[in-house]
Amino acid sequence: MAFSFDIAKPQNIKNALLATKQKIAKSGGTFSGDERSGRFSGKGVTGVYTVGSDAIKITITNKPALYPMQAVKNAIEDYFR
């Protein structure tokens, strides 16, 4: 069951995505993409992102059943900030 949410787009999206990639890699996950779109995974959670003019749309495509949606959303938001 996929679910989506938006986060505010940082002014310097390139640097923000680089920091996100580093944070995800540091926690054992993977991240690939650019200033338009990409994918990420880690700890059983997989997702994609698309960068719009004002926001980054995050879609979680898979998560462990035991992880509440809100907990996953909060963790992903922390990575992308």
- The whole domain housing 7 covers 3-79
Helix (H) or strand (E) holding 42: strand 37-42
Q: Is the pTM of this model over 0.95?
A: no
26-41: buried (b, 16+ CB within 10 Å) or exposed (e) per residue? eeebebebeeeebebb
* CA nearest to 78, candidates 53, 54, 52, 45: 45
| Local confidence band at 81 (pLDDT 50, 70, 90 cut-offs) | confident
What's the domain count of the chain? 1
- 53 Cβ contact list (under 8 Å, min separation 6): 9
Per-residue pLDDT tens over the stretch 15-72: 999 999 999 999 999 999 999 999 999 999 999 999 999 999 999 999 999 999 999 9
- Which CATH number fits the domain that encloses residue 38? 3.30.310
Three-state SS at 39: strand
